[in-house]
Amino acid sequence: MFTQFSPAEQAVKYPAERRVFIGLKPYVWWTFAGLVAATVGAAWLQLAIGGLPANPGPVGPVLATATKELPHGFPGWVRLSHWVNFFFLSLIMRSGLSILADHPRLYWNNGCSPDSEWIRFTPHKVPRDRVYTAKDDARYISPVLGLPGFRHSVGIARCWHFITVPFFILNGVIFIVLLLATDHWRRLVPTSWSVLPDAWSVFVHYATFHWPAEPNGFFRYNALQQLSYFTVVFLLAPVALVSGMAMSPAVENRMHWLPKLFGNRQAARSVHFLVLLAFLVFLVIHVALVVLTGAMRNMNHIILGTDSLSDWRGIVIGSAIVLAVVLFAVFAHWLSWRRPRVLQRIEVAINGTLWRLTINRLKPKLYYRQKDISSYFWMNGKMPQSEEWRLLADQSFRDYRLSVGGMVEHPVQLSLADLQAMGMQQQITMHHCIQGWTGIAEWGGIPMRRIVEIVRPKPGATVVAFFSFGEGLYGGAYYDTHTLDNCLKPGCILAWEMNYSPLPVEHGAPLRLRVENQLGYKMVKWIRSIEFLDSSKKIGEGFGGKNEDDEYYDLLADS
């Protein structure tokens, strides 16, 4: 529905092989089994030995009135933020799944070496005997589940994720501020340690299929319920936020301690996923209990703000809201495949601005040392197919000439030997692919600043375009652009060395770009020529790069 794939896109987006697969390392199974045994098992054991524990807290009819001195009910702002939250969370979770499918493996180590993942959502092991790119590894996900779904849709998925996240956070902040400004925090925040044994007693009831005497949520939540709501608001949401930020190359380069909070960047990604899982589990149980403990009354609480037992309007309006969210999902699907540029532009308007005002003002730093270098480094991009490159490669790039031109005073043609004679800068950095994998490597080459000094850009030249011998995913020369400013930064080099050896062909020989603190796709491999321009709009489709043109990647990964 709504998609118009060309045959080339069809092959990428909707492959013949779309099997759903989840593979876990044995220790993950054991951990999971251990957790279930320690909770559900312990509940059954307690039931068998000591019988069902007493109901915690006041029970019976007294519940509805006895706690009236405490804050109760559901003021308008609680009801509104609840549904706004539901709307944004549905978009964030679904786009998150689409992002995950683009590199369907999760690790605890920065190098992402094959077979070190604790969970994978692909039936395939990484073959070691042939070129296998991260893009080959991307998985199909149904557009019903993922936003926008299909295979390798990370560009559009990121647009959705990052457009919605600021609103989700804003809604959460407003909610928490009002919670604290009114007395309502007392409904969510436990104020006595007795909440723990009480919550356990409630859990023993649920886990052994007994109903605890439920208090009326209009006045008070049961202990387990309070603890879960508290955890979602004050633990899951902040951890989602911080682990999400920890994945950004811009953050990694400036606030190295943030990913460190989780151990490393890939651990942050794993935690980000575990939070998604926790949200999902919460959602399922929450909705089930809302329905099972008095659907009509509960819906009147959260829709009308009344404690009515006979008003149908709560259920009717609630269902209408859910329907509206589903209809929006259909609209989102249409927007994704028919008007993706709109999304791409909104994304940059919101986050480009937010980034510029905040993180971009801090200075990036290099952190890594030789001992951090990853044993494996994923590769991406289509190897050049042209006769021209093949001939050059066959002779170890002896006849290679890098041509640098465009709006410059002094266009040049430089051989590898010319470049190497100018000296070499080495740096050890973490590479962040937009798909989700990372790798740490040493890179050696000439700073772009030196090239700029030699060619002397004419006034008005503000953009530098890098063209590759290789092609993009759907054909056409691969290229990307950077601001001249960015090319002058210390981390921007044309590299011919990787891990103290000549740059391997699969990683971009003879020359590749390194622009640390940017995402991987901005770092053109197999560079053929460089051109200085006054605008990136004049080349390709005008979006600043091959992947920006074809895959709706962020216009400004400049971060």
Ligand X SMILES: Nc1nc2c(c(=O)[nH]1)N[C@H]1C(S)=C(S)[C@@H](COP(=O)(O)O)O[C@H]1N2
Output the smallest distance, CB 384 to ligand X, in A. Answer: 8
**433 binds Mo ion per the rule CB under 5 A:** yes
The stretch near Mo ion (CB under 5 A) out of 193-201, 213-221, 356-364, 426-434 is: 426-434
In the shown chain, the binding pattern of residues 467 to 506 toward ligand X, with x for contact by CB under 6 A and - for none, equals: -x-x-------x----------------------------
- Sheet with 105-106, strands from edge to edge, namely 23-24, 119-120, 105-106
Alpha-carbon gap, residue 551 to 344, rounded angstroms: 10
Scored b (16 or more CB within 10 A) or e, 153-181 reads: bbbbbbbbbbbbbebbeebbeebbeebee
Binders of ligand X in range 380-419 (CB under 6 A): 380-382
Distances, alpha carbon 387 to alpha carbons 391, 394, 509, 546, in Å: 6, 10, 15, 21
The SS3 of residue 363 is coil
Q: Which residue has the tokens 């549905």?
A: 90
441 in contact with Mo ion (CB under 5 A): no
Spatial CA neighbour of 100 closest among 478, 358, 434, 394: 434
Segment contacting ligand X (CB under 6 A): 9-17, 52-60, 156-164, 374-382?
374-382
Can you tell me the distance from the alpha carbon of 162 to that of 22, in angstroms, rounded to the nearest whole number?
27
Are the C-beta atoms of 212 and 97 separated by less than 8 Å?
no
Q: Report the site for ligand X in 148-167 (rule: CB under 6 A).
A: none
Asked if residues 214 and 61 have their Cβ atoms less than 8 Å apart, the reply is: no
Among 140, 521, 526, 552, binds Mo ion (CB under 5 A): 521
Nearest alpha carbon to residue 154 among 520, 530, 526, 424:
520
Q: What are phi and psi of 530, to 5 degrees?
A: -130, 135
Residue 246 found at the interface with ligand X (CB under 6 A): no
How far apart are CB 9 and ligand X at their closest, in Å?
16
Residue of 378, 496, 543, 552 interacting with ligand X (CB under 6 A):
378
Residue whose CB is less far from ligand X, 266 or 380: 380
- Identified binder of ligand X from the candidate list 121, 175, 218, 526, rule CB under 6 A: 526
* Cα–Cα dist 282/286, whole Å: 6
Shorter beta-carbon distance to ligand X: residue 56 or 510: 510
Decide: is 379 part of the binding site for ligand X (CB under 6 A): yes
The residue within the footprint of ligand X, chosen from 402, 414, 523, 533 (CB under 6 A), is 523
From 520, 540, 544, 545, residue interacting with Mo ion (rule: CB under 5 A): 520
149 binds, among ligand X, Mo ion, none (CB under 5 to 8 A by kind): none
CB of 553 to ligand X, least distance (A): 9
Binding to Mo ion by CB under 5 A, coded x per residue (else -) over 344-383, reads ------------------------------------x---
Helix (H), strand (E) at residue 465: strand 463-471
Which residues, 6+ apart, have CB-to-CB distance to 248 below 8 Å?
Answer: 359, 432, 559
Answer yes or no: are the C-beta atoms of 509 and 393 closer than 8 Å. yes
Per partner kind, with CB cut-offs from 5 to 8 A, the member of Mo ion, ligand X, none near residue 389 is: none
Short-list 218, 228, 229, 202, CA closest to 296: 218
The answer to whether 414 and 404 have CB atoms below 8 angstroms apart is: yes
List binders of ligand X among 424-443 (CB under 6 A): 433
DSSP β-bridge partners for residue 444: 426, 497
Choice between 172 and 545, CB closer to Mo ion: 545
Q: Which stretch binds ligand X (CB under 6 A): 347-355, 399-407, 413-421, 518-526?
A: 518-526
List, in sequence order, every residue forming a beta bridge with 442; answer none if it has no partner. Answer: 428
Question: Please, which residue, 239 or 379, has the CB nearer to Mo ion?
Answer: 379
CB of 522 to Mo ion, least distance (A): 9
Which residues of the shown chain bind ligand X in the complex (CB under 6 A)? 377-382, 433, 468, 470, 478, 507-508, 520-521, 523-526
Which residues of the shown chain bind Mo ion in the complex (CB under 5 A)? 380, 433-434, 520-521
